[in-house]
């Protein structure tokens, strides 16, 4: 049986007109219709005109949110020797080498938001695909999480670096901050993400690239966004 939305949700949904809103207006509306008792995460969902089954139409990348994400991410660093000390000094929450690989393998341990690994550890980290892959936690050179500069990677993640990747259905889902942020900060983060996804448009993508964009918070109905596609 389908779950019927509650009265508060229905009341919020009635205030959203079925039209695209400019980003600043959408954020003001989202903050006005909030009804949850906690500080909700604000997310953007972008439907793209790509077929991710084709490697040349894969859209992925990273972007640092100018105003952070409102919560500090827990970072695990898998490295050896000197790089472990560097990681601790840069503020990593968990640091180790083979011991961390074994812990993840034996305990299915995933109490962290991001993993940074040095290239020499990737042979061991590669064994963790079953645990890390489905959760989007696998370190990757393309997103700057396989690197010898562990300190820089940690700083970027802590500052609010967001990884985006198109899913099987051609949609990107990404957080852009908390509902308690000022409207200006949320708008800046939202536009930063949208522009990064526009820049990541694959050459093989044909037709309309960004089909639609929706803004929502954890508990709210979605609000359609106007997207200005900047022509290169």
* pLDDT tens digits, one per residue of 30-47: 999 998 889 999 999 999
pLDDT classification of 190: cutoffs 50, 70, 90: very high
CATH number of the domain at 15-68+161-225, out of 1.10.760.10, 3.20.20.70, 3.30.190.20, 3.40.50.1000? 3.30.190.20
At 2 the pLDDT is 52
Long-range contacts formed by 228-232: CB under 8 A, 24+ apart: 229/198, 230/195, 230/198
* pLDDT surpassing 50 at residue 232: no
* pLDDT surpassing 70 at residue 65: yes
Q: Which residue has the higher pLDDT, 3 or 141?
A: 141
* pLDDT surpassing 50 at residue 54: yes
Contact 42, 188 (CB under 8 A): no
CB atoms inside a 10 Å sphere around CB 28 = 14
Q: What is the pTM of this model?
A: 0.75
pLDDT classification of 1: cutoffs 50, 70, 90: very low
Rounded CA gap, 167 and 47, in Å?
A: 10
Both structure tokens of 52? 């991710």
Place of tokens 């509650």: 6
Query: Exposed, middle or buried by CB within 10 Å (0-12, 13-18, 19+), for 2?
Result: exposed
Q: Is the dihedral of CA 48, 50, 53, 58 positive or negative?
A: negative
**Four-point Cα dihedral 79, 83, 88, 89, nearest 10:** -160
Q: Where are the domains of the chain?
A: 15-68+161-225, 75-158
* pLDDT surpassing 60 at residue 203: yes
pLDDT classification of 229: cutoffs 50, 70, 90: low
CATH class of 75-158: alpha beta
* Residues near 153 by beta carbon (within 8 Å), at least 6 away in sequence: 116, 144, 145, 147
């Amino acid at each position: 049986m389908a779950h019927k939305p509650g009265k508060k949700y229905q009341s919020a949904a009635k205030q959203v007109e079925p039209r695209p809103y400019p980003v600043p207006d959408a954020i003001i509306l989202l903050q006005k219709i909030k009804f949850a008792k906690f500080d909700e995460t604000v997310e953007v969902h972008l439907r793209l005109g790509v077929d991710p089954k084709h490697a040349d139409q894969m859209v992925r990348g990273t972007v640092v949110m100018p105003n952070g994400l409102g919560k500090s991410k827990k970072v695990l660093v898998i490295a050896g020797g000197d790089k472990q000390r560097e990681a601790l000094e840069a503020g990593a929450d968990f640091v180790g080498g083979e011991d961390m690989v074994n812990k993840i393998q034996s305990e299915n341990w995933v109490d962290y938001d991001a993993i940074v690994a040095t290239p020499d550890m990737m042979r061991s980290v590669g064994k963790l695909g079953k645990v890390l892959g489905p959760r989007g936690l696998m370190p990757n050179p393309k997103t700057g999480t396989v690197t010898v500069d562990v300190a820089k990677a940690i700083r970027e993640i802590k500052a609010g670096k967001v990884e985006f990747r198109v899913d099987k259905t051609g949609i990107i889902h990404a957080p852009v901050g908390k509902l308690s942020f000022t409207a200006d900060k949320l708008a800046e983060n939202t536009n930063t993400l949208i522009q990064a996804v526009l820049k990541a448009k694959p050459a093989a993508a044909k037709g309309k690239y960004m089909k639609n964009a929706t803004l929502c918070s954890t508990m709210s109905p979605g609000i359609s966004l106007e997207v200005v596609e900047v022509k290169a």
